Amino acid sequence: MTPAILELVLMTIVTAATPLIIAAIGELVTERAGVLNLGVEGMMIVGAALGFAAAYLSGSPLIGALAGMAAGMVLAALFGLLTVGLAINQVAAGLALTIVGVGLSGLLGAGYVGLKRDAPPHLYIPYLSDLPFVGKLVFGQDAFVYGSFVLVAAVAWYLTRTRAGLALRAIGDNHHSAHALGLPVRRTRFLAILFGGACAGMAGAYLSIAYTPFWSPGMTAGRGWIALALVVFSSWRPWRVVLGALLFGGATVLQLHAQAASLGLPGQLLSAVPYLATIAALMVLSIGARRKSAAPAALGQPFVAPR
205-264 binders of other proteins (CB under 8 A) = 217, 221-222, 225, 228-229, 232
| Shortest distance (Å) from residue 61 CB to other proteins | 25
| Shortest distance (Å) from residue 156 CB to other proteins | 16
Alpha helix ranges (H) inside 81-142: 90-109, 134-139
Question: Which residue of 101, 196, 201, 204 would you call a contact of other proteins, by CB under 8 A?
Answer: 101
For the chain, count helices (H), then strands (E). Answer: 13, 0
- Give, as ranges, the residues between 166 and 185 that touch other proteins (CB under 8 A): 166-167, 169-170, 173-174, 176-185
| Shortest distance (Å) from residue 29 CB to other proteins | 17
| Shortest distance (Å) from residue 26 CB to other proteins | 17
Which amino acid appears at position 260 of this protein? A
Count of all residues that appear for the chain in the document: 307
Name the β-bridge partners of 214: 116
Please tell me the distance from the alpha carbon of residue 189 to that of residue 32, in angstroms, as a whole number: 9
Residue 205 and residue 52 in contact, taking contact as beta carbons nearer than 8 Å:
yes
Question: Which residue of 30, 37, 98, 141 would you call a contact of other proteins, by CB under 8 A?
Answer: 98
Nearer to other proteins, 148 or 255 (CB): 255
Q: What is the dihedral of CA 25, 94, 102, 59, to 10 degrees?
A: -40
Residue 30 sits in the site that holds other proteins (CB under 8 A): no
Residue 278 sits in the site that holds other proteins (CB under 8 A): yes
Question: Which residue of 58, 62, 115, 286 would you call a contact of other proteins, by CB under 8 A?
Answer: 286
Nearer to other proteins, 26 or 42 (CB): 42
Residue 125 sits in the site that holds other proteins (CB under 8 A): no
Please tell me the distance from the alpha carbon of residue 53 to that of residue 230, in angstroms, as a whole number: 28
Residue 126 sits in the site that holds other proteins (CB under 8 A): no
Q: What is the dihedral of CA 197, 203, 207, 211, to 10 degrees?
A: 170
Residue 95 sits in the site that holds other proteins (CB under 8 A): yes
Burial of 262 (0-12, 13-18, 19+ CB in 10 A): exposed
Nearer to other proteins, 51 or 172 (CB): 172
| Shortest distance (Å) from residue 47 CB to other proteins | 16
Which helix (H) or strand (E) is 87 found in, with range?
none
Within a 13 Å sphere around the CA of 279, how many CA atoms are in the beta-carbon half? 4
Nearer to other proteins, 185 or 202 (CB): 185
Handedness of CA 276, 277, 282, 287 (dihedral sign): positive
| Shortest distance (Å) from residue 99 CB to other proteins | 3
Stretch of residues binding other proteins (CB under 8 A), selected from 25-33, 54-62, 159-167, 251-259: 159-167
